[in-house]
Chains A and B, each alone.
Chain A
Amino acid sequence: MTVRKNQSQLTADEKRRFVNALLALKRDGRYDAFVSTHNDFIMSDTDNGDRVGHRSPSFLPWHRRFLIQFEEALQSVDPSVALPYWDWTTDRTPAASLWAPDFLGGTGRSRDSQVTDGAFASSGNGWRINVRVDGRDFLRRSLGAGVRQLPTKAEVDSVLAMSTYDMSPWNSASDGFRNHLEGWRGVNLHNRVHVWVGGHMATGASPNDPVFWLHHAYVDRLWTQWQSRHPNSPYLPTSNTRDVVDLNDTMRPWGNVTPADMLDHTRYYTYDTAA
C-alpha cells in the first residue's frame, strides 16, 4: 500500500529513489506529457465556460486523480516510491531541507532565476524544460520573491473551518472551502504557494518544477482533513450544473472517473500520520 509521507521525514534513500524516478520519467517523455495536460487545462478552464481542473468544484478530485496517475507512473519505475507532501505552513523558508541539493535544489540565481544546484539544475541530468510558455529551457525559481510569506497554520485552519464544500457560481468568485483552499478568494492558500515558489511554478506549465507534486499532495491532504472535520458535508454540486463537473459526472481527460470515485483516498494511498 502506498503511504504518502511528509517530505521533511524522508530518509536519504527515499529522497534518492524519488529523484531518480522523476529523472527516469523525464527521460522517457512521460513526465512532459503530465506538464502538457496540466497546461492545456489551465488554459481552457474559464470562469464562464467549461471548467474541470481549476477554478471549479472538481479542482480537488481532478488533481487527486492527476496525482494518482503520476504516482503510478513513478511506481512503474520504482515500486517503493510514493509522493511526499510539503507542509508549507511548517517548512516555510528557503532553508528547509526540501530545497537542499540532495532533494529538489534551491532557489534560482538572481540574474535569470535559474536553479543551479540539485538534480533539476539545467547542467547534467537532462532536466530540460520542453513544455514551456517562453524561450527558456532551464528550471527557474524565485523562492519568496513574488510574495513574502507562505500561508500559516492559522490561515489553513480558518479555511478548514468552512463547512460548505463549494458554492454557486462554482468558479473563482465562489465562497466556500474549495475556492478558499484554491486561493482565488480570501487568505489564499494554494495559489499563493505557486507564487511564492515563482519561476515555472507561477506559470500554467507549473508541473515543470517537481515541487508541484509535493505542493498538490499537501493540498490533497488538506481536503482529507476537511472531510474529517465535516463528515456530513458532501461534494457539491450534485446534478445538472452547466459547465461544471457534478458529483457523478466523468472528468476529462480520463472520461472514466467521477468526483464520487475520488472522495475516499484510502482506496489508493494512506498517510504517515492520521488526518
Chain B
Amino acid sequence: MSGITRRQAIGAAASAAAGLAAVGAARASATGAEPHDQAHAGAEPDSFDEVYLGRRIQGAPSHDGGHHAGHGGGHGAGYSVRIDGDELHIMRNADGTWISVINHYEPRATPRALARAAVVELQGATLVPLAPPAV
C-alpha cells in the first residue's frame, strides 16, 4: 500500500462502515448545540473519552505544558484533544469557544464538539503529528 498507512486504511474502513449518511448527519450534529456540553468562559471543560464514527476521541486538561508540541499544552488551551491517539492542535478563544487546526475559522462550544467536527472533516484520514511552529 503506497502512500497510505495501515491505520489510515483502518480509519477509512471504519468511516465507511459508519456510513456516508451518518457522516452527513454528523456534520449537522457536530455543529449543533449540545445540552450537556455548553461552553463556560473561564471554566475548565471536563475530560471525555468516546468512540465517534469509528474514531476514538479523547480530551483532558493538560497542566503539564512541557511535553506537548505546539500549543496543545502550552500557552494555548490548557487542554489537549486526541484522535486515535494523535494530538489535534486546538486553541481556546477569548469568549471560551474552541477551534482546531482542522476547523480553524469556525468556533465550537466545547472541545468534544471540536473533536467530533474534526472526525467528520477527516473522513477517516489520520492526523499529521504536531510540529512546533517555526516562527
| Chain A residues at the B interface, C-beta cutoff of 8 Å | 36-37, 39-44, 46-49, 55, 110-113, 132-137, 145-147, 169, 171-173, 183-184, 190-192, 194-195, 202-206, 252-253
- Known contacts: A48-B94, A172-B95, A184-B93. The answer to whether A133 contacts B101 by CB under 8 A is yes
Nearest CB on A from B46, distance (A): 22
Nearest CB on B from A193, distance (A): 8
Assembly CA distance A11 to B44 (angstroms)? 54
Does B106 belong to the interface (CB within 8 Å)?
A: yes
Nearest CB on A from B20, distance (A): 7
Main secondary structure of the interface of A (DSSP, over half): loop
Known: A134-B128, A135-B126, A171-B94. 6 other contacts (CB 8 A): A43-B133, A47-B93, A135-B125, A195-B105, A202-B121, A204-B101
Q: Which residues of B65-79 are within 8 A (CB) of A?
A: 70-71, 75-76
Contact of A252 among B95, B104, B122, B135 (CB under 8 A): B135
Query: Which residue of chain A lies nearest to B8 when distances are taken between CB atoms in the complex?
Result: A135
Q: Which residues of B15-34 are within 8 A (CB) of A?
A: 20, 27
Q: Which residues of B contact A110 (CB under 8 A)?
A: 20
Q: Are B94 and A169 in contact (CB under 8 A)?
A: yes
Q: Which residues of A contact B103 (CB under 8 A)?
A: 202-203
Query: Which residue of chain B lies nearest to A52 when distances are taken between CB atoms in the complex?
Result: B135
Q: Mark B93-113, 1 if CB is under 8 A from A, else 0.
A: 111000001111111000000
Q: Which residues of A contact B116 (CB under 8 A)?
A: none
Assembly CA distance A91 to B101 (angstroms)? 27
Main secondary structure of the interface of B (DSSP, over half): loop
Query: Which residue of chain B lies nearest to A192 when distances are taken between CB atoms in the complex?
Result: B105
Assembly CA distance A227 to B98 (angstroms)? 32
Assembly CA distance A46 to B95 (angstroms)? 12
Does B5 belong to the interface (CB within 8 Å)?
A: yes
Assembly CA distance A79 to B135 (angstroms)? 30
Q: Are B20 and A172 in contact (CB under 8 A)?
A: no
Contact of A183 among B91, B105, B133, B135 (CB under 8 A): B105
Assembly CA distance A94 to B120 (angstroms)? 22
Nearest CB on A from B18, distance (A): 14
Q: Are B101 and A113 in contact (CB under 8 A)?
A: no
Nearest CB on A from B111, distance (A): 16
Q: Are A134 and B102 in contact (CB under 8 A)?
A: yes
Does B134 belong to the interface (CB within 8 Å)?
A: yes
Assembly CA distance A252 to B5 (angstroms)? 36
Does B62 belong to the interface (CB within 8 Å)?
A: no
Q: Are A46 and B126 in contact (CB under 8 A)?
A: no
Q: Are A113 and B123 in contact (CB under 8 A)?
A: yes
Q: Are B101 and A49 in contact (CB under 8 A)?
A: no
